[in-house]
Homo-oligomer: A and B are copies of this chain.
Amino acid sequence: MHNPQLNANGELTHLLSIEGLPRELIHQILDTASSFIEVSDRDVKKVPLLRGKSVFNVFFENSTRTRTTFEIAAKRLSADVINLDVTRSSTAKGETLLDTVDNLIAMHADMFVVRHAASGAPHLITEHLRRLGRNDVHVVNAGDGRHAHPTQGLLDMYTIRHYKKDFSNLVVAVVGDILHSRVARSDINALTTLGAAEVRAVGPKTLLPAAIERMGVRVCHDLREGVRDCDVVIMLRLQNERMNGALLPSAREYFSCYGLTPAILALAKPDAIVMHPGPMNRGVEIDSDVADGPQAVILPQVTFGIAVRMAVLGILAGN
């Protein structure tokens, strides 16, 4: 089957999803990110790799945090960055997604960083670019619906590789609202591809997708069982809006069943690391003592995230 993310030489031309990326390509991205880590530590945090390139942050859904990380990554590569808050623009005037994209291509966009509430929107754009024969324009999925958030998945893999070196013996627990989480999907795909020994999907029945086992994970409805002897615990953010509905009784009750406390974390391996994509709901999915504790690598995730996004933009620009 044709992989829309790769060109004829198997090189990355778009980043839509971790699903379908070969293991070597993932490692290549992480290796490149590694070389960018020191750029952000420099006195002059800038390399001229994308000088004169136009990177468009096209956010159909508001996300200041993700937009900011891509903006920083692109600026440190010396690109010209244009932020488009599409919630306020032409789409609101009835223009179609592809008309908006065509217009930006006509302005000589080199790269689209796309966030959309609809699963598949970035894929739709790459399909359109393919039909146009424009392999000089690249798309990065910055989160589409419940589908994927591949740069988050990659930065999570970078973090795990940084602390654990090798994936082959790792037991990783992904905990929380997996049903609505594009991060969970991207992480599970990446961990499977990279050969983690065991991936656990931990959460209440109402927040796990029906056929989650098919992704190759072990399902746990009990947090203690899910965390026991883990090397890595990835906590997911619980969206506030979930708590007003039929899915969950209350934040307090959720915390008592699925909140990560020091006592629960003690069941994991002593050198287990705790990750979270942010923003955290302290006291809902994670206890402050864990969030601020020695096993948390939540802020290093953010630092690595800049390097990973620089790597993705840099690799795409080169291919």
Q: Measuring CB to CB, which residues of chain A are less than 8 angstroms from any residue of chain B?
A: 40-46, 51-54, 62-65, 68-69, 71-72, 75-76, 80, 82, 84-86, 88-90, 93-96, 99-100, 102-103, 105-108, 240, 278-282, 299-303, 305-306
Contacts and interface: CB of A to CB of B under 8 A. Distances in A.
A94 B51 CA distance: 37
A82 B90 contact: no
Contacts of A64: 84-86, 88-90
A107 B302 contact: yes
Given A103-B279, A103-B302, A107-B306, 15 more contacts: A40-B107, A45-B80, A46-B51, A64-B86, A64-B90, A65-B90, A72-B107, A75-B82, A94-B240, A94-B279, A103-B278, A107-B303, A107-B305, A108-B303, A108-B306
A279 B98 CA distance: 11
Contact of A280 (B62, B76, B99): B99
A115 to B, nearest CB: 13
A143 to B, nearest CB: 14
B41 A46 contact: no
B306 A90 contact: no
A183 to B, nearest CB: 14
Report, nearest first, the 8 A-B pairs whose CB atoms are least far apart: A44-B52, A64-B89, A106-B302, A95-B279, A90-B279, A46-B52, A106-B299, A40-B108
Contacts of A279: 90, 93-95, 99-100, 103
Nearest to A71: B82
Contacts of A85: 64
Contact of A95 (B71, B105, B107, B280): B280
A69 B107 contact: yes
A303 B103 CA distance: 8
Contacts of A76: 52, 80
Given A51-B44, A108-B303, A282 B96 contact: yes
Nearest to A72: B107
Contacts of A106: 299-303
Nearest to A281: B94
Contact of A103 (B62, B65, B103): B65
